[in-house]
């Protein structure tokens, strides 16, 4: 390559120069209070499908009135920059944490409401997605028929049977979202639908939720135009009200609530997870770093030392899911929560 032509910097998308980072020292946004809840939900309309969706969820909860039901949120929420959305800000999440966790909850007898980013990974089908482990690579053709390559029969049969069981027993309800607004309206409505289950309801909030958004009254209707010669796009975003404490205090009284804390800077992970627990007074924060989220997490809970859960190098090499270690530890805590709440385990 000519010396004067510099190859573009080989930068991973998730790294950036520190001096460009936003000032993390700005005061934290306080937890949402009642007026914030009314302001947000009164001024940002619910998705038009919400009533139908919640009717289905109420039927699901009623069907499982004597079971343990977990609401797993998964995938990233988007912040549209135009009402007729062409551009949006996205939050990183492939949906692996949520989809894999949902499988282990199902295998432990939970009914699962899977509130997920549309088109992100789903329980069971995640094993053969369009990109990783493309399902077409597991097929073969013989006498004009499509066959599964014998090498993969056993593994695929195991996944297929679990998927079919979940469907036949009505154990898995898949509910999509895309935007932060759809997510928040749906989360609040589902929380109310789950109230009859009291302590047998579990919230496992693995979705990557936006912290800033463009309120409806400030969002342009059509695609933002870029002028010839270039013009800056200056965005004025509001903080997304911190609804976790509304969930704990009002929307889902009695349920066990677990949130995830995502950081990229290991030096602040524990303090931020502890801060979330103190601010929201829920039962467990599972902290994880973007870079190591598939091999280690840390449990931060009241009146207990922090507990690191890690895959050994051997387990990692064998392709063991860290969720196979996380979920049993969560189930133990949920059983204790039900006992302490006076429910029958
Ligand atoms: C997203 C990942 C890392 C999984 O990745 P994939 O397997 O690729 O899907 C998940 O483990 C996670 O940390 N999820 C939570 C991420 C998140 O946004 N957490 C929020 C807190 S919970 S969102 C609640 C809301 N912001 C509020 O405070 O009320 C945070 O860290 O600030």
C-beta of 40 in contact with ligand 1 (< 6 A): no
Q: List, for residues 76-96, the tens digit of each pLDDT value.
A: 999 999 999 999 999 999 999
CA of 284 to the centre of ligand 1 (A): 13
Ligand 1 pocket, 175 CB below 6 A?
A: no
Between these two residues, 263 and 33, which has the higher pLDDT value? 263
The response to whether residue 120 sits with its C-beta less than 6 Å from ligand 1 reads no
CA distance 168 to 173: 12
Overall average pLDDT of the 227-238 stretch? 86
* 4 to 1, 7: CA distances (angstroms): 8, 9
Distance 262 CA to ligand 1 centre (A): 5
Query: Rounded to the nearest 5°, which phi and psi values hold at 342?
Result: 85, 10
Whether 209 lines ligand 1, by a CB cut-off of 6 Å, is yes
Pocket test for ligand 1, best of 97, 187, 203 (most atoms within 8 A of CB): 97
ipTM above 0.85, yes or no: yes
**What value does the CA radius of gyration of the chain take, rounded to a whole number of Å?**
22
Model confidence over 256-266: pLDDT tens digits? 999 999 999 99
Taking the C-alpha atoms of residue 108 and residue 94, their distance in angstroms, rounded to an integer, is 24
Residue 3 has pLDDT above 50, yes or no: no
> Is the pLDDT confidence value at 130 over 80?
no
205 Cβ closer than 6 Å to some ligand 1 atom: yes
> Could you tell me the distance, in angstroms and rounded to a whole number, from the CA of residue 207 to the centre of ligand 1?
5
Percentage of the chain beyond pLDDT 90 is 75
* pLDDT per position as a tens digit, 313-333: 999 999 999 999 999 999 999
- Strand 212-213 to 88-90 pairing: unpaired
Nearest CA to ligand 1 atom 13: 262
Selected residue with higher pLDDT from 25 and 69: 69
User: How would residue 235 be classed by pLDDT, with cut points 50, 70 and 90?
Assistant: confident
Whether the pLDDT of residue 24 is over 60: the answer is no
């Amino acid at each position: 390559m000519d010396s004067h032509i510099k190859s573009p910097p080989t930068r991973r998308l998730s790294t950036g120069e520190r001096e460009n980072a936003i000032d993390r020292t700005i005061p934290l946004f306080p937890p949402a209070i009642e007026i914030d809840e009314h302001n947000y939900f009164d001024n940002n309309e619910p998705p038009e499908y919400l009533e139908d969706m919640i009717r289905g969820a109420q039927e699901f909860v009623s069907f499982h009135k004597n079971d343990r039901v977990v609401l797993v949120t998964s995938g990233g929420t988007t912040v549209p920059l135009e009402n007729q959305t062409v551009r949006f800000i996205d939050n990183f999440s492939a949906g692996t944490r949520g989809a894999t966790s949902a499988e282990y909850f199902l295998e432990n007898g939970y009914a699962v409401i899977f509130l997920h980013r549309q088109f992100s990974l789903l329980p069971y089908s995640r094993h053969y997605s369009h990109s990783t482990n493309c399902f077409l690579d597991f097929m073969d053709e013989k006498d004009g028929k499509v066959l599964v390559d014998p090498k993969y029969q056993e593994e695929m049969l195991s996944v297929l049977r679990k998927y079919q069981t979940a469907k036949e027993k009505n154990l898995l309800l898949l509910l999509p979202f895309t935007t932060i607004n759809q997510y928040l309206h749906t989360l609040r409505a589902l929380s109310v639908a789950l109230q009859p289950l009291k302590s047998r309801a579990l919230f496992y909030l693995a979705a990557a939720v936006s912290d800033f958004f463009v309120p409806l009254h400030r969002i342009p209707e059509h695609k933002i135009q870029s002028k010839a010669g270039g013009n800056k796009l200056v965005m004025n975003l509001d903080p997304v009200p911190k609804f976790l404490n509304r969930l704990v205090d009002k929307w889902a009284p009695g349920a066990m609530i677990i949130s995830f804390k995502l950081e990229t800077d290991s030096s602040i992970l524990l303090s931020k997870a502890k801060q979330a627990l103190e601010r929201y007074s829920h039962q467990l924060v599972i902290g994880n770093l973007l870079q190591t989220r598939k091999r280690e997490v840390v449990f931060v809970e009241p009146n207990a030392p922090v507990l690191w859960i890690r895959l050994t190098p051997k387990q990692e090499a064998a392709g063991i899911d860290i969720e196979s270690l996380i979920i049993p530890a969560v189930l133990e805590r949920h059983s204790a929560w039900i006992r302490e709440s006076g429910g029958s385990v």
